[in-house]
Amino acid sequence: MSGILDYEKQGLFDLFNGQEDKGILIQLAKSLTKNYVSADNLDDALQIVFVHGGSSTTILNKKMLTKEILFKYLHKNSVRASSDFTKSSLIEKTQNFWKEKFFDNKNQNESSLSEVNPNSSHIDQQNVLHSASQPQNEYIIEQNNQLYKTDLIQNDFPIQQNNQLSTNNSMSYPINLLAKKFSEWFFVSYNDDTLKPQDFWIDSSLHLKMVQVQSGETQEHQCTSSTEVVETLLGIKNPVKFSFNPNLAYEGVQGRLDMHGLVLVLCCGTLHTTDTCMGTFESLFGLIRDPNCDNNWKIKHLKLILKSTAVINQIPCLVNSDTLSEVLSLPEPSGNI
């Protein structure tokens, strides 16, 4: 199922359809597919955005959708923005406007589908836990361009076995919702070079491992302190100009608790340069709340494994990771964090 809800699709159509420069949508479609898929017209381009955009937050954060575009769109629809507006606040205003205009059932609980704001320096722990603690027995699903309530999130294939029912229930656990929100925020920030030492604990640690699959060559690097961690992360990425594309489905991102109560976030995905997929990655984060920073989550430790390979046979999944298997075997807590 797409990460973009039906009313958000209507909102995106409304946004792009009102632009004088129709080329913005074409450019966005090309960017999302690395020019591998051509968009011959606006309808084709919009469908590409729906399929490959990931989420409305990710799409609206694209650099070609500037603050000016979003502000003018809100102004055209008589939506007031604060005098000290940021792109983050404009995105939130735009999404709220879409919900009010295009979503009939305003009382529907969408907590399991809400999105983290990638422009924020930290994850808002209280908002995450508030949404995650709402009743999880109803979800939005999309069929034939209509929204319905259901007792389970509909999968992309018929649910026939009890373990599949268990998987769908596990997706709604608060720790897994937090893991997905955090991973989306982190890798958007990492790709945009906006990670800061303040996003980490001052004594945070990084264990970096880089593997050349074909030759078996391995390099490892470890460091401690928030400043050194950020410098190392940006230092390995920018010379090659590659980006991270996390698998934000349940198979690609999950949460666990260790025996000391540390929140663990496991995430995997693919690595890309401008015109090619260059490999895969696996990551393990340890998160702790910071009571001196509005009780937000900050990164205590990070293990990051980069695998360079010319052949990728399937979408990276956590169950296929030997490195993360031990942590993945920990029980999934179903209650509030």
For residue 234, what is the domain's CATH number?
Answer: 3.10.450.50
For β-strands 218-224 and 200-212, DSSP reports them as: antiparallel
Residue 336 domain flag: no
The answer on 323 and 185 residing in a single domain is yes
Mean pLDDT, rounded, for 258-278: 89
Confidence grade of residue 230 (pLDDT, cut at 50, 70, 90): very high
d(CA 251, CA 167): 9
Same domain for 312 and 213? yes
The full DSSP string for 20-32 is S-THHHHHHHHHH
Q: What is the pLDDT of residue 105?
A: 47
Residues 235 and 217 in one domain: yes
| 1 found inside a domain | no
Enclosing domain of residue 147: 137-171
- Other C-beta atoms closer than 10 Å to the C-beta of 167 total 16
Over residues 126-182, the pLDDT tens digits come to: 333 333 333 333 333 333 333 333 332 333 333 333 444 455 678 889 999 999 999
* 161 SS3 class: coil
**Which is higher by pLDDT, 158 or 73?**
73
| CA distances to 207, 271, 272, 324 from 278, in Å | 21, 6, 5, 21
Do 304 and 201 share a structural domain? yes
State if pTM tops 0.75: no
Q: Is the pLDDT of residue 119 over 90?
A: no
Residue 68 has pLDDT above 70, yes or no: yes
Q: With 80 as the cut, is the pLDDT of residue 332 above it?
A: yes
Beta bridge partners of 266: 254, 284
* Furthest-apart CA atoms within the chain: distance in Å: 59
Query: Do residue 43 and residue 19 come from a single domain?
Result: yes
Helix (H) or strand (E) holding 163: helix 162-171
- Same domain for 222 and 267, yes or no, is yes
Indicate if the alpha-carbon torsion angle 307, 313, 315, 320 is positive or negative.
Answer: negative
* Contact call for residues 168 and 153 (beta carbons, < 8 A): yes
Residue 256's DSSP bridge partners are 264
Residue type, 20: E
- Sign for the CA dihedral angle at 52, 55, 57, 58 comes to negative
Same domain, 178 and 286: yes
Report the alpha-carbon angle 94-98-102, nearest 5.
Answer: 170
In degrees, rounded to 5, the angle at the alpha carbon of residue 174 between the alpha carbons of residues 130 and 61 is 75
Over the stretch 293-317, which tens digit does the pLDDT of each residue have? 888 999 999 999 999 987 787 889 9
In this predicted structure, what is the pLDDT of residue 108? 40
- 180, 293: one domain: yes
pLDDT digits (tens, 9 = 90+) for 44-64: 888 888 888 878 888 888 888
Task: Specify the 3-state DSSP secondary structure of 83.
Answer: coil
SS (H, E, C) 239-263: CCCCEEEECCCCCCEEEEECCCCCE
Rounded CA-CA distance 214/204 in Å is 32
- Please determine, for residue 207, whether its predicted confidence score (pLDDT) is greater than 50: yes
More confident residue, 287 or 275: 287
- 183 and 311 assigned to the same domain: yes
Q: How far apart are CA 319 and CA 311, in angstroms?
A: 19
- Shared domain for 92 and 10, answered yes or no, is yes
Residue 101, helix vs strand vs coil: helix
pLDDT 10s digits, 74-118: 999 999 888 778 888 888 889 889 988 887 544 343 333 333 333
